[in-house]
């Protein structure tokens, strides 16, 4: 018998029918707790009470080995017991009785002169091992939270645990002897599943599928079924595991529907934004054109107030046009069908600085770059826009008291590249570090600094689309520092 390496609850009644002598000794008290009929016959006793007086249980010889049991080890030992002419070979295993008491299960066999067990006894021991294995299997099936059932070649349920029955709203024991067809909504579903599953199972593979089935109360449920052949189909059968995944499937269906609806809504929104921007910009361009013509054609006939009014009208139309363009750009971030790829920060920074060449030259700004080998996973076009906005702001919001200096650097931190853009400009009050990333948020009057108040909102949206984050910190003495954390590119990008 294979020793039981770990404590388990044993139903002793299951072992009663075995023909090999088996008995149980409680470790704490050293007393015989149970013995089957074969053991009692071997000791010449009628009851467990009378057997205790005969010392047939060999407790004195077994006592010194209790520590081995506590460590989870089974062992073999030859002992001589009262009333026995020949010694008894004992196989000892640890177990826990149903009342929680620690005990040892002893399998006793009369030794032959040559030290081996009789052939008949060997078979008894095999039977005992099978009985204990069956008991352990019953305990596992009873306590596992996963629904388990064993089906024969005819797809009749031979065994089903409590969890399996609970999935279908019926006691597991009541399913034994029933065709598995009772678990399906129709004979067609039952037949088609068999056609899909059994070629895989009989080929030695594991079948897995989520299937629509039916509970005893008539409700349809989604079950995750997994099946595999154990031993021979005729002798042992197919083990099926069933898990009710109805809630997950329902949630996934709702989520898929919501995602489809969101995609449709976004597509409509993008189309609306495009049409609206086109329809709004056209009259604005017309207004701007006619106001410009009015100023040119009647400049000598208008007084200073009229010319100023014309300037205000043209400036307002141009600002509205820029605002519409920026709003359209904001709505499109993350919606372009461009694949993410490995992007070197040096490359996108170089392109951004090229786009800012005139502004940098006019301001006399000094741009210092130390981006090193930084490489991130991203959309190249959006990243150019990101750095162009950040560096452009550093140049725009320069201090009149000193020459503008912008320092761009990068450092790797925990799987991200953190890009820093530091300037010596007018700076930002820490109270507004979060507010500046909001849409239409301006900290300065338009006559001081031009802009629509969307630039940094676009930056945040680009960074979030890349799975990163952006934040502000005070500069070392002057200006401020923008920090941008972006996922580093992997070897597969």
- Span 440-462, pLDDT tens digits: 666 665 556 666 677 888 899 88
Dist CA 428 CA 443 (whole Å): 9
- The CATH number of residue 395's host domain is 3.30.565.10
What pLDDT was estimated at residue 121? Answer: 38
Task: Retrieve residue 77's tokens.
Answer: 């030992």
Out of 58-62, 234-238, 304-308, 438-442, give the one with best mean pLDDT: 304-308
Let me know: does 434 contact 302? Beta carbons within 8 Å. no
Considering the domain boundaries, does residue 253 fall inside one? no
Does residue 7 fall inside a structural domain?
A: no
- What average pLDDT does this structure show over 264-274? 76
Q: Are residues 312 and 269 in the same domain?
A: yes
Sheet holding 480-487, edge to edge: 366-370, 405-413, 416-423, 480-487, 469-474
Q: What is d(CA 380, CA 266) in angstroms, rounded to the nearest whole number?
A: 23
The answer to whether the CB of 485 falls within 8 A of the CB of 413 is: yes
Which pLDDT belongs to residue 49? 86
Judge whether 465 lies within some domain. yes
Lookup: tokens for 24:
């149980």
List of residues 6+ apart from 134 with CB closer than 8 A = 14
Whether residues 397 and 469 share a domain: the answer is yes
Average confidence (pLDDT) over 303-319: 83
For the stretch 174-232, pLDDT in tens is: 888 888 988 988 889 999 999 999 899 888 899 999 988 888 888 899 999 999 988 65
Q: Do 438 and 472 share a domain, yes or no?
A: yes
Question: What is the domain extent for residue 283?
Answer: 258-332
* Lowest-confidence pick of 88-92, 189-193, 376-380: 88-92
Residues 315 and 442 in one domain: no
Eight-class DSSP state of 216: T
How far is residue 252's CA from residue 246's CA, in Å, rounded to a whole number?
10
Residue 93 CB: number of other CB atoms within 10 A? Answer: 23
d(CA 179, CA 369) in angstroms, rounded, equals 75
Instruction: Match 């010319």 to its residue by tokens.
Output: 307
More confident residue, 127 or 328: 328
Examine the domain organization and report whether 204 and 293 are in the same domain.
no
**Cα angle vertex 280, ends 274, 284, to 5°?**
140
Task: Please say which residue of 102, 137, 172 terminates a domain.
Answer: 137
What CATH number did the domain enclosing 107 receive? 3.30.450.20
What pLDDT, in 10s, does the model give residues 1-15?
323 323 333 445 556
Q: What is the pLDDT of residue 233?
A: 54
Residue 111 in tokens: 């030794």
Pairing mode, strands 366-370 and 405-413:
parallel
| Core vs surface per residue 304-333: b (16+ CB within 10 A) or e | eeeeeebeebbeebeebbebbebbbbbbeb
492 within some domain: no
Of 429, 336, 428, nearest in space to 379 by CA: 336
Assess whether 189 and 217 both reside in one domain: yes
- Same domain assignment for residues 356 and 478: yes
Final residue in a domain of this structure, among 112, 137, 162: 137
Percentage of the chain lying above the pLDDT 70 cut: 81
Q: How many domains does the chain have?
A: 4
Last-in-domain residue among 191, 214, 244:
244
State the pTM of this model.
0.46
Q: Is 346 found in the same domain as 326?
A: no
Is residue 399 in a domain? yes
Q: Is residue 18 part of a domain?
A: yes
Kindly state whether residue 374 falls inside one of the protein's structural domains: yes
Same domain, 219 and 125: no
Q: Which residue has the higher pLDDT, 26 or 81?
A: 26
DSSP string, 402-432: S--EEEEEEEEETTEEEEEEEE-SS---GGG
**Percent of the chain at pLDDT above 90?**
18
- The answer to whether 156 and 177 are in contact (CB under 8 A) is yes
400 in a structural domain: yes
Same domain? 59 vs 117? yes
pLDDT, position 230: 81
Same domain, 479 and 410: yes
E-state strands within 271-364: 341-344
| End-to-end CA separation in angstroms for the chain | 57
Query: Which DSSP category does 73 fall into?
Result: -
Please write the tens of the pLDDT for every residue from 332-365. Answer: 776 666 778 899 999 999 999 998 999 899 898 9
Output the six-digit token pair for 253.
């269906």
The answer to whether residues 352 and 473 belong to one domain is: yes
Tell me the average pLDDT of the chain. Answer: 80
């Amino acid at each position: 018998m294979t020793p039981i390496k770990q404590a388990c609850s044993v139903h002793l009644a299951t072992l009663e029918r075995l023909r090999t002598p088996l008995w149980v000794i409680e470790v704490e008290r050293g007393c015989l707790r149970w013995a089957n009929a074969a053991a009692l016959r071997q000791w010449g006793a009628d009851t467990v009470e009378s057997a205790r007086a005969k010392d047939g249980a060999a407790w004195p010889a077994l006592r010194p080995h209790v520590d081995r049991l506590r460590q989870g080890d089974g062992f073999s030992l030859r002992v001589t017991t009262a009333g026995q002419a020949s010694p008894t070979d004992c196989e000892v295993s640890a177990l826990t009785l149903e009342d929680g008491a620690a005990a040892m299960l002893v399998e006793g066999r009369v030794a032959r002169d040559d030290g081996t067990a009789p052939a008949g006894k060997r078979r008894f021991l095999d039977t005992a091992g099978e009985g204990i294995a069956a008991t352990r299997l019953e305990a596992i099936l009873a306590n596992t939270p996963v629904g388990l059932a064993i089906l024969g070649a005819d797809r009749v349920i031979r065994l089903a645990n409590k969890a399996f029955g609970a999935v279908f709203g019926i006691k597991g024991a009541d399913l034994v002897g029933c065709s598995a067809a009772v678990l399906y909504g129709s004979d067609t579903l039952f037949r088609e599943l068999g056609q899909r599953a059994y070629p895989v199972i009989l080929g030695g593979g594991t079948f897995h599928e989520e299937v629509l089935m039916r509970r005893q109360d008539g409700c349809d449920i989604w079950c995750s079924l997994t099946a595999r052949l154990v031993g021979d189909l005729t002798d042992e059968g197919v083990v099926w595991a069933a898990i009710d995944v109805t809630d997950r499937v329902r949630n996934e269906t709702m989520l898929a529907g919501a995602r489809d609806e969101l995609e449709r809504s976004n597509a409509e929104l993008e189309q609306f934004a495009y049409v609206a921007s086109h329809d709004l910009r056209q009259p604005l361009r017309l207004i701007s054109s006619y106001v410009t013509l009015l100023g040119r054609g009647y400049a000598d006939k208008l007084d200073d107030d009229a010319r100023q009014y014309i300037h205000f009208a043209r400036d307002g139309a141009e600002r509205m046009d820029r605002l519409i363009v920026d709003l359209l750009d904001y709505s499109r971030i993350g919606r372009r069908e461009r694949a993410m790829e490995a992007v070197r920060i040096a490359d996108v920074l170089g392109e951004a600085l090229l786009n800012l060449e005139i502004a940098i030259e006019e301001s006399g700004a000094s741009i210092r770059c130390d981006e090193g080998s930084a490489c991130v996973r991203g959309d190249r076009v959006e990243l150019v826009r990101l750095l162009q906005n950040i560096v452009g702001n550093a140049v725009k919001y320069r201090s009149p008291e000193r020459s503008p200096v912008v320092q761009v650097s990068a450092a790797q931190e925990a799987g991200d590249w953190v890009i820093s853009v530091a300037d010596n400009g007018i700076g930002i009050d820490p109270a507004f570090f979060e507010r500046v990333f909001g849409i239409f948020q301006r900290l300065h009057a338009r006559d001081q600094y031009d802009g629509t108040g969307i630039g940094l909102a676009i930056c945040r949206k680009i960074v979030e689309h890349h799975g990163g984050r952006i934040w502000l910190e005070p500069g070392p003495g002057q200006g401020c520092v923008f920090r941008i954390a972006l996922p580093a590119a992997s070897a597969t990008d």
